[in-house]
């Protein structure tokens, strides 16, 4: 799965029964979307529970320790800390 963080991703994240899958996590946390990640999070109304599920999935899958994804995981962690 490749592409930008856009309205399609927003739609997926805002589904009531959202469950993260590896393909979506690679797109969301991948370096190709890192530059727009903070803006995407801040400028959209995203279900916070879905974001927590994404973060948990990333941590449980070792993304936090992977240089390809770690910075994006940190961006999401910081965003969620600001929402508490």
pLDDT in tens, 22-42: 999 999 999 999 999 999 999
Q: Residue 9 — φ and ψ, nearest 5°? A: -65, -40
Give the per-residue pLDDT at 18. 97
Q: CA 78, 65, 46 angle in degrees (round to 5)?
A: 35
Task: Write the burial class of residue 49 (CB in 10 Å: 0-12 exposed, 13-18 middle, 19+ buried).
Answer: exposed
Give the per-residue pLDDT at 3. 86
């Amino acid at each position: 799965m490749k592409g930008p963080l856009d309205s399609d991703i927003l739609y997926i994240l805002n589904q009531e029964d959202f469950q993260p899958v590896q393909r979506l996590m690679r797109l969301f946390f991948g370096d190709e979307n890192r530059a727009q990640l903070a803006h995407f999070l801040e400028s959209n109304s995203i279900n916070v529970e879905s974001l927590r599920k994404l973060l948990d999935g990333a941590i449980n899958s070792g993304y936090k320790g992977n240089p390809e994804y770690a910075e994006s995981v940190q961006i999401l962690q910081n965003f969620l800390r600001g929402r508490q």
